[in-house]
A and B are shown apart, each in its own frame.
Chain A
Amino acid sequence: MFSKILSIVVIMFFSLISFGQKESMALIEGGTYIPLYGSDSMPVNVVDFKIDKYPVTNAEFKEFLEENPKWRKSNVIALFADGNYMRHFKNDTELKEGELQNAPMTNVSWFAAKKYCECQGKRLPTLDEWEYVGMASEKRADARTKDEYNKFILSWYEKPNSYNQEIGSTFKNYWGVYDMHGLVWEWTQDFNSVLISGESRKDVDGSNDLFCGGAAVGSSDLMNYAAFMRYAFRGSIKANYSVRNLGFRCAKSINKPNQ
């Protein structure tokens, strides 16, 4: 009898969690978009998927560490996380003075972020998925042609030390997703699929005419500049890197029953 009650409680508890999980993700309607930068500017198809409304926080990551001691600072294999891993933690479980529980988890490698998402039954968003969601302003699904929107992004890229703020402190976009811009960079599954060598003037050669082509200078240039910086950042990192301004959020595919 007692165990029956317990199991009901447990079931309720889990369904609450999974309910909570549903709430914590936003549904993104797929579509096509033209990536701002890449080897060729062909339209890319993004199918419906879900993405976390907020970046993963320090507190959430701590919970994950409790269940996955392998990923604690003291245990993690160097191959999977460099020396900066969890640098803002005092030890395996406690944040340093002044770090917020509810701030985005950063100093985390791609391997650890990927593992975290897998343990939630999720995955990292693909680069295209991330960019697709990142096009949205508060009002529009694709705000890339809006000057103010691009200026906001650019001005954030310039400002040092924005990582130690609570999640949700920037704007909520068209899809109901927060903090895509203005808080931290985010890992994507295939972050280095577009290779930037660091010799950006060379990277520009060829198909993309950002610095060579157009005579008219307008918002499209601003938006390209903003995207450029994101790709440059992604091009500079490796999967075992942990960076103070780099966090992540998870995504999930939608399994359509008829497929």
Chain B
Amino acid sequence: MNAKDIKAVSEMKAELTAPPFVPKSTADREATKLKVDMEILEETGEMADGVEYVYWTFGGSVPGSFIRTKVGDEVEFTLKNHPDNKLPHNIDLHAVNGPGGGAASSFVAPGHEITFSFKTLNPGLYVYHCATAPVGMHIANGMYGLILVEPEEGLAPVDREYYVMQGDFYTKGEFGEQGEQPFDMQKAIDEDADYVVFNGSVGALTGDGALQAKVGETIRLFVGNGGPNLVSSFHAIGEIFDRVHVEGGDLINENVQTTLIPAGGAAIVEFEVDVPGELVLVDHSIFRAFNKGALAMINVTGEEDKDVFAGTIQEGIYLPEGGTIQSMPSDDEDDAKEETAAVELSKAEKMELGKKVYGSTCFACHQADGQGIENAFPPLANADYLNDDVNRAIDIVLRGKSGEITVNGKTYNSVMTAQNLTDKEVAAVMTYIYNSWDNNGTEVTEEMVRKVRKK
């Protein structure tokens, strides 16, 4: 039957979900009159630890709420612009056949709402976004999300479904610069992104936010790319995509390592997770992953399967670096960073700054709780090597380290790049580490760092 001829028999309110979750399948229901109620909010959020950003959102999240429809639905869409908002907005749904994807009929001033309707004709995964002038700025501030139009029979059942969307952000300060960071139009025009992230902020999907799965389960990711500028080379470290609905459409490709997701486009990727551990989702334009935030985790729990993965070989190709500019280990004496004379921070201040430096610089390798990754990155939590010699530890941060070392009885033979940090930052991050995770509580001063630097 032609999608146009499908009659919507009943009426229901659409379930909308914030990322990374998606509403339940439409397989069990008929085409219906689906009422979507979405509110636009302009609000301050956290782009990274200690970095504030004003987001413009569909439904209070970046990306906006996930909308799940099926072919033949008559969608009645109400768009509300919160009264405290400063700007008019609208919505262009790529799932709509009609001028501007609904943009012209959805233009709405702060404190007002507007209702329009459309029929879903083509199955697929589509991007929606704001198209108010200047369009790029509205998108750059987070105004995008995904709408799924399921085929009549619904998508095949899987164990878990998640919603992940990439976006690039342009801020006045460089990556990690603390405080409130306004949008930088010039950088946006130059396509010089400071942040490239999944789900709106650095770390949205790592640590506590990591996606969860169990060995043997099939996972479906609805992956979008809001842009505004960058195309994503979407890849899962340690996993092959069994199936990819290329560009969110009908075409299915199998056994895909990396799938391209254009700005303003999407893909559905499916894979079975075979072994326990952490899968890392990245934009394989790899500096974006380790220096700009395009990194997400899937925590897979369950039984080991040695046939699939023996566990002795690590992800050796990827040397995840922190956000700080890296340089190879060196013995160079005079590349000490200029330091403006300043007062020593209190211990509490060091802990605070140190936590941020850790989050933006060391976290990618040594992990959230300093536990490290076996065979690749040594632990900093309750680490004998660290606690034995503070000057040696400072030296490693300043100049990097390669060669074999033994930490808590395990040997590591890898490379840590030198970290380009100021004395203040090094003192703070070392103090933070020594006073966390059962370490010996040493307070590192800037003077100690200076001495090691001069050595």
Residues of A at the B interface (CB closer than 8 Å) are 84, 87, 147, 151, 154-155, 157-162, 185, 196-204, 217, 221-222, 225, 228-229, 231-233, 235-238, 241-246
A196→B132 CA distance, assembly (Å): 10
Residues from chain A with Cβ under 8 Å of B182 in the complex: 155, 158-159
Residues from chain B with Cβ under 8 Å of A159 in the complex: 54, 86, 182
Chain A to chain B contacts (Cβ below 8 Å), 18 pairs: A155-B182, A158-B86, A158-B141, A159-B86, A159-B182, A160-B85, A185-B86, A198-B104, A198-B132, A199-B104, A199-B131, A201-B135, A217-B190, A221-B185, A221-B189, A229-B133, A229-B134, A245-B85
Q: Are B104 and A236 interface neighbours, CB within 8 A?
A: no
Q: Are B109 and A228 interface neighbours, CB within 8 A?
A: no
A228→B99 CA distance, assembly (Å): 21
Q: From A159, which residue of chain B is reached at the shortest CB distance?
A: B54
Residues of B at the A interface (CB closer than 8 Å) are 42-44, 54, 83-88, 90, 99-100, 103-112, 131-135, 137, 141, 182-183, 185-186, 189-190
Q: From B54, which residue of chain A is reached at the shortest CB distance?
A: A158
Q: Are B84 and A236 interface neighbours, CB within 8 A?
A: no
With A198-B103, A200-B132, A232-B132 given, is the CB distance from A217 to B189 under 8 Å?
yes
A244→B81 CA distance, assembly (Å): 12
A227 to chain B, nearest CB (A): 10
A136→B112 CA distance, assembly (Å): 32
Residues from chain A with Cβ under 8 Å of B44 in the complex: 160
Residues from chain B with Cβ under 8 Å of A204 in the complex: 133
Q: Are A160 and B189 interface neighbours, CB within 8 A?
A: no
Q: Are A160 and B133 interface neighbours, CB within 8 A?
A: no
Residues from chain B with Cβ under 8 Å of A84 in the complex: 83, 111
A91→B303 CA distance, assembly (Å): 66
Q: Are B185 and A225 interface neighbours, CB within 8 A?
A: yes
Q: From A245, which residue of chain B is reached at the shortest CB distance?
A: B86
Q: Are A243 and B104 interface neighbours, CB within 8 A?
A: no
A177 to chain B, nearest CB (A): 21
Residues from chain B with Cβ under 8 Å of A237 in the complex: 88, 109
Residues from chain A with Cβ under 8 Å of B103 in the complex: 198-201
A200→B138 CA distance, assembly (Å): 12
Of the residues B88, B110, B112, B133, contact of A203 by C-beta under 8 Å: B133
Residues from chain A with Cβ under 8 Å of B99 in the complex: 199
Q: Are A200 and B131 interface neighbours, CB within 8 A?
A: yes
Q: From A225, which residue of chain B is reached at the shortest CB distance?
A: B134
B79 to chain A, nearest CB (A): 11
Q: Are A235 and B107 interface neighbours, CB within 8 A?
A: yes
With A198-B106, A199-B99, A233-B88 given, is the CB distance from A222 to B134 under 8 Å?
no
B328 to chain A, nearest CB (A): 36
Q: Are A160 and B131 interface neighbours, CB within 8 A?
A: no
With A160-B54, A198-B103 given, is the CB distance from A244 to B132 under 8 Å?
no
Residues from chain B with Cβ under 8 Å of A185 in the complex: 86
A81→B104 CA distance, assembly (Å): 24
Q: Are B189 and A243 interface neighbours, CB within 8 A?
A: no
A238→B88 CA distance, assembly (Å): 12
B84 to chain A, nearest CB (A): 5
Q: Are B86 and A160 interface neighbours, CB within 8 A?
A: yes
B322 to chain A, nearest CB (A): 29
Residues from chain A with Cβ under 8 Å of B131 in the complex: 198-201
Of the residues A196, A217, A243, A246, contact of B133 by C-beta under 8 Å: A196
Residues from chain A with Cβ under 8 Å of B107 in the complex: 196-199, 235-236
A155→B170 CA distance, assembly (Å): 13
Q: Are A198 and B87 interface neighbours, CB within 8 A?
A: no
Q: Are A244 and B108 interface neighbours, CB within 8 A?
A: no
With A200-B132, A231-B133, A235-B107 given, is the CB distance from A157 to B86 under 8 Å?
yes
Q: From B53, which residue of chain A is reached at the shortest CB distance?
A: A158
A70→B141 CA distance, assembly (Å): 42
With A151-B185, A233-B88, A235-B88 given, is the CB distance from A243 to B132 under 8 Å?
no
A90→B60 CA distance, assembly (Å): 28
B244 to chain A, nearest CB (A): 30
Of the residues B54, B84, B90, B141, contact of A244 by C-beta under 8 Å: B84
Q: Are A236 and B108 interface neighbours, CB within 8 A?
A: yes
A243→B88 CA distance, assembly (Å): 11
A246→B81 CA distance, assembly (Å): 14
A75→B11 CA distance, assembly (Å): 39
With A217-B190, A222-B185, A225-B137 given, is the CB distance from A232 to B111 under 8 Å?
no
Q: Are A244 and B83 interface neighbours, CB within 8 A?
A: yes
Known pairs A161-B86, A202-B104, A244-B111 / 19 extra A-B pairs, C-beta < 8 Å: A87-B111, A157-B87, A158-B54, A158-B86, A196-B133, A197-B104, A198-B132, A200-B135, A217-B186, A225-B134, A225-B185, A229-B133, A233-B88, A233-B109, A237-B88, A243-B109, A245-B85, A245-B86, A245-B110
B198 to chain A, nearest CB (A): 23
A131 to chain B, nearest CB (A): 16
A84→B80 CA distance, assembly (Å): 14
A159→B44 CA distance, assembly (Å): 9
B100 to chain A, nearest CB (A): 4
A238→B42 CA distance, assembly (Å): 22
A228 to chain B, nearest CB (A): 4
B39 to chain A, nearest CB (A): 14
Residues from chain A with Cβ under 8 Å of B106 in the complex: 198
Residues from chain B with Cβ under 8 Å of A161 in the complex: 84, 86
Of the residues A154, A231, A236, A241, contact of B185 by C-beta under 8 Å: A154
B55 to chain A, nearest CB (A): 10
Q: Which of A87, A202, A238, A243 has the most CB of B within 10 A?
A: A243
With A225-B137, A228-B133, A235-B88 given, is the CB distance from A243 to B100 under 8 Å?
no
A196→B99 CA distance, assembly (Å): 15
A150 to chain B, nearest CB (A): 8
Q: Are B112 and A198 interface neighbours, CB within 8 A?
A: no
With A198-B104, A199-B100, A200-B134 given, is the CB distance from A241 to B111 under 8 Å?
yes
Residues from chain B with Cβ under 8 Å of A245 in the complex: 84-86, 110
A201→B92 CA distance, assembly (Å): 11
